[in-house]
Amino acid sequence: MIARQPGGVQRHARLAAEVGATWDDIAGSILLTEPAFGIVLAIQALPAARRGFKQGSAGSHEDDDHDSLPN
Protein backbone atom coordinates (compact mmCIF):
# COMPACT_ATOMS: atom_id res chain seq x y z
CA MET A 1 0.00 0.00 0.00
CA ILE A 2 2.61 2.54 0.99
CA ALA A 3 5.36 1.98 -1.60
CA ARG A 4 4.99 5.18 -3.58
CA GLN A 5 1.26 4.74 -4.14
CA PRO A 6 -0.29 7.97 -2.81
CA GLY A 7 -3.59 7.27 -4.57
CA GLY A 8 -3.90 3.92 -2.83
CA VAL A 9 -2.95 5.39 0.53
CA GLN A 10 -5.50 8.17 0.08
CA ARG A 11 -8.26 5.76 -0.93
CA HIS A 12 -7.61 3.36 1.95
CA ALA A 13 -7.49 6.24 4.45
CA ARG A 14 -10.80 7.56 3.08
CA LEU A 15 -12.43 4.16 3.36
CA ALA A 16 -11.11 3.76 6.91
CA ALA A 17 -12.49 7.17 7.91
CA GLU A 18 -15.86 6.28 6.40
CA VAL A 19 -16.17 3.31 8.76
CA GLY A 20 -15.11 5.28 11.84
CA ALA A 21 -11.31 5.23 11.99
CA THR A 22 -9.74 8.24 13.68
CA TRP A 23 -6.72 10.11 12.32
CA ASP A 24 -4.64 8.49 15.09
CA ASP A 25 -5.76 5.04 13.88
CA ILE A 26 -4.74 5.80 10.30
CA ALA A 27 -1.45 7.52 11.12
CA GLY A 28 -0.55 4.74 13.55
CA SER A 29 -1.23 2.10 10.92
CA ILE A 30 1.03 3.86 8.45
CA LEU A 31 3.80 4.19 11.02
CA LEU A 32 3.58 0.45 11.66
CA THR A 33 4.84 -0.05 8.08
CA GLU A 34 8.12 1.69 8.95
CA PRO A 35 10.11 -1.49 9.67
CA ALA A 36 9.29 -2.88 6.23
CA PHE A 37 9.35 0.27 4.08
CA GLY A 38 11.49 2.71 6.07
CA ILE A 39 10.70 5.92 7.86
CA VAL A 40 11.00 8.09 4.73
CA LEU A 41 8.22 6.27 2.83
CA ALA A 42 6.05 6.13 5.94
CA ILE A 43 6.37 9.90 6.43
CA GLN A 44 5.81 10.56 2.71
CA ALA A 45 2.52 8.63 2.89
CA LEU A 46 1.06 10.84 5.61
CA PRO A 47 -0.09 13.78 3.39
CA ALA A 48 -2.04 11.45 1.08
CA ALA A 49 -3.51 9.69 4.10
CA ARG A 50 -4.54 13.03 5.59
CA ARG A 51 -6.31 14.00 2.34
CA GLY A 52 -8.15 10.69 2.31
CA PHE A 53 -9.06 11.00 5.97
CA LYS A 54 -10.51 14.47 5.39
CA GLN A 55 -12.52 13.19 2.41
CA GLY A 56 -13.85 10.22 4.35
CA SER A 57 -14.72 12.34 7.37
CA ALA A 58 -16.56 14.86 5.19
CA GLY A 59 -18.31 12.23 3.10
CA SER A 60 -16.62 13.43 -0.12
CA HIS A 61 -16.22 10.88 -2.93
CA GLU A 62 -14.89 13.07 -5.74
CA ASP A 63 -12.21 10.61 -6.86
CA ASP A 64 -14.57 7.63 -7.22
CA ASP A 65 -15.67 8.41 -10.79
CA HIS A 66 -12.89 6.38 -12.38
CA ASP A 67 -13.25 3.50 -9.93
CA SER A 68 -16.97 2.90 -10.42
CA LEU A 69 -18.11 -0.57 -11.31
CA PRO A 70 -20.69 -0.93 -14.07
CA ASN A 71 -24.25 -1.62 -12.92
Q: Which of the four pLDDT bands, split at 50, 70 and 90, describes residue 4?
A: confident
Q: Domain ranges in the chain?
A: 6-56
Tell me how long the chain is: 71
Return the pLDDT at 70: 44
Report, as an integer, the average pLDDT of 5-17.
96
The better pLDDT of the pair 70, 17 is held by 17
* Pairwise CA distance, residues 6 & 71, whole Å: 28
Q: Which amino acid is it at 69?
A: L
The tens digit of pLDDT for each residue in 17-61 reads 999 999 999 999 999 999 999 999 999 999 999 999 999 999 866
| pTM (2 d.p.) | 0.77
- Report in angstroms the alpha-carbon separations of 56 from 26, 29, 36, 40, 41: 12, 16, 27, 25, 22
